[in-house]
Amino acid sequence: MLDQRSLRVSAGKAEEIWTTDSVPEPERGDYWRAALRHLYPGLTMAEPVDGEAVHGRLVVRSFADGRASECQHSAARLIGAGRDPAGDGWDGYNLTLQIYGVGRVSQAGRTFHRRFGEMTLTDAALPFEEVGLDDPHVQVWSLPRHILEPMLVAPDLSIGQGIGSRHGTGALLLSLLQTTWRECGGLARPMQHRIQDSICRLVALAFGPASAARASGRNGARPASLPEACAYIESRLQDPRLSVDEVAEWLHLSRRKLEMLFAETGIGVAGWIGRRRVEECRKMLADPAWRHLSITEVAFTWGFRDLSTFNRRFRARFDMAPREVRRGQPAAGQDLEPEMPQILTIGPFRPRTPPMRG
């Protein structure tokens, strides 16, 4: 039972909110699965990734003939059988915007790796799989089928696809979504319907055949880019189980093709993972705020399994031992992150804060 649900009116916005903040930990899994069914009524499974503790917050707003929602939660894998229109009388499509973290959505035999600012379109009546990592935060617009589908030139080619939002129609759509989310509570119903119609028209343009062909090229012939691979590695850097095979599986690539992506780095996938780990370790060792952690604890925090491997890789990267960095003790906040090639810019990741000792 969702006894922690709240219905509030804030700044003219009627919102239904579900949050795990006050739910006892043993009950959070069941509570959050039930909450997610308000966003994905056909949800059949919601499981944490690698046993991560469950937490989440879901905000749902009624908008015109559909809904607008924002969802933040721990890393998880969601599987749905599709929505039965006879269940609640609603039928349509879900437009999902990635606000933070990384996501992978699969539907109709297609897979799209969604990064910051990218959007995907899925059919709420069809089975789907969604995987979110690095504390994913998404905005989901539920758009009625009877409005959107007649506007789509090729509905079957549009679902399971994704678009960016930096240029063209995607940028216009992003701007409209952001403004509408802020203002929707103060809009009269007739105005909501007009804006919903405008959103659907932009979606139809953005996910038209030309966009679908470009997306197919990105996720088919070239399934992933180097920044996408780096983004996934960043989200899993502290997990000692992170492997080259895992990165390849996430991106739906063979190991050989993944290594080809990293050829321009000159160090390969495993080398890149090791480099990023020692770089984060160096920043922690140089920061007085982490002085209470031993060198071994710092190494283990960033995914190393043994100290000898860490010491060897650290010296190879920086030509000094880890204890020399700590002995030097640079001023707090000094930026020690080495300069990286522009091609490896991976987007707006938050600074990662390693867990403190209990």
How far is 98 from 100, CA to CA, in rounded Å? 6
Q: The tokens of 291 are what?
A: 């002085």
How far is 226 from 268, CA to CA, in rounded Å? 11
Q: Is pLDDT of 312 > 60?
A: yes
pLDDT of residue 251: 80
Contact status, residue 147 vs residue 189, Cβ threshold 8 Å: no
**DSSP label at 229?**
H
**DSSP label at 20?**
S
Query: What's the pLDDT band for 296 if we cut at 50, 70, 90?
Result: very high
Q: Tell me the pLDDT tens digit for each residue of 14-64.
A: 789 999 999 999 999 999 999 999 899 889 999 998 777 899 999 999 999
Task: Pick the closest to residue 296 from 322, 275, 320 (CA basis).
Answer: 322
Q: Which residues contact 191 (CB under 8 A, 6 or more apart)?
A: none
**Phi then psi for 253, rounded to 5 degrees?**
-125, 155
Q: Tell me the Ramachandran region of residue 221: left when phi exceeds 0, alpha when psi lies from -120 to 50, beta otherwise.
A: alpha
How far is 276 from 280, CA to CA, in rounded Å? 6
Q: Tell me the pLDDT tens digit for each residue of 192-240.
A: 999 999 999 999 988 876 555 454 444 443 446 787 788 778 878 888 8
Question: What residue ranges in the chain does DSSP mark as E strands?
Answer: 6-10, 13-19, 43-48, 56-63, 66-73, 76-80, 92-107, 110-114, 119-123, 128-144, 161-163
**Looking at 35-44, 123-132, 157-166, 220-229, which range is the least confident one?**
220-229
Per the DSSP assignment, residues forming a β-bridge with 22 are none
How far is 242 from 270, CA to CA, in rounded Å? 10
Average pLDDT across the chain, whole number: 81
How far is 69 from 139, CA to CA, in rounded Å? 6
Q: Is pLDDT of 321 > 50?
A: yes
Contact status, residue 303 vs residue 234, Cβ threshold 8 Å: no
Look-up of token digits 């609640």: 88
Query: What's the pLDDT band for 1 if we cut at 50, 70, 90?
Result: very low
**Looking at 48-52, 159-163, 338-342, which range is the least confident one?**
338-342
Q: Is pLDDT of 332 > 70?
A: no
Q: The tokens of 256 are what?
A: 């050989």
Helix, strand, coil shares, percent, the chain, to 5: 45, 25, 30
Query: What's the pLDDT band for 88 if we cut at 50, 70, 90?
Result: low
Q: The tokens of 6 are what?
A: 């709240």
Angle at 53 (CA atoms; ends 50, 59), nearest 5 degrees: 115
Query: What's the pLDDT band for 157 if we cut at 50, 70, 90?
Result: confident
pLDDT of residue 217: 46
Distances (CA, A) of 315 to 28, 49, 115, 284, 318: 44, 33, 34, 16, 5
Scanning 42-138, the segments in alpha helix (DSSP H) are 85-88
- Three-state SS at 144: strand
Angle at 15 (CA atoms; ends 9, 17), nearest 5 degrees: 120
Q: Is pLDDT of 97 > 90?
A: yes
How far is 213 from 217, CA to CA, in rounded Å? 6
Query: What's the pLDDT band for 352 if we cut at 50, 70, 90?
Result: very low
**Looking at 34-38, 95-99, 318-322, 334-338, which range is the least confident one?**
334-338
Q: What percent of the chain has pLDDT over 90?
A: 47
Q: What is the mean pLDDT of residues 247-254?
A: 84
- How large is the C-alpha radius of gyration of the chain? 22
pLDDT of residue 56: 95
Task: Pick the closest to residue 191 from 201, 182, 183 (CA basis).
Answer: 183
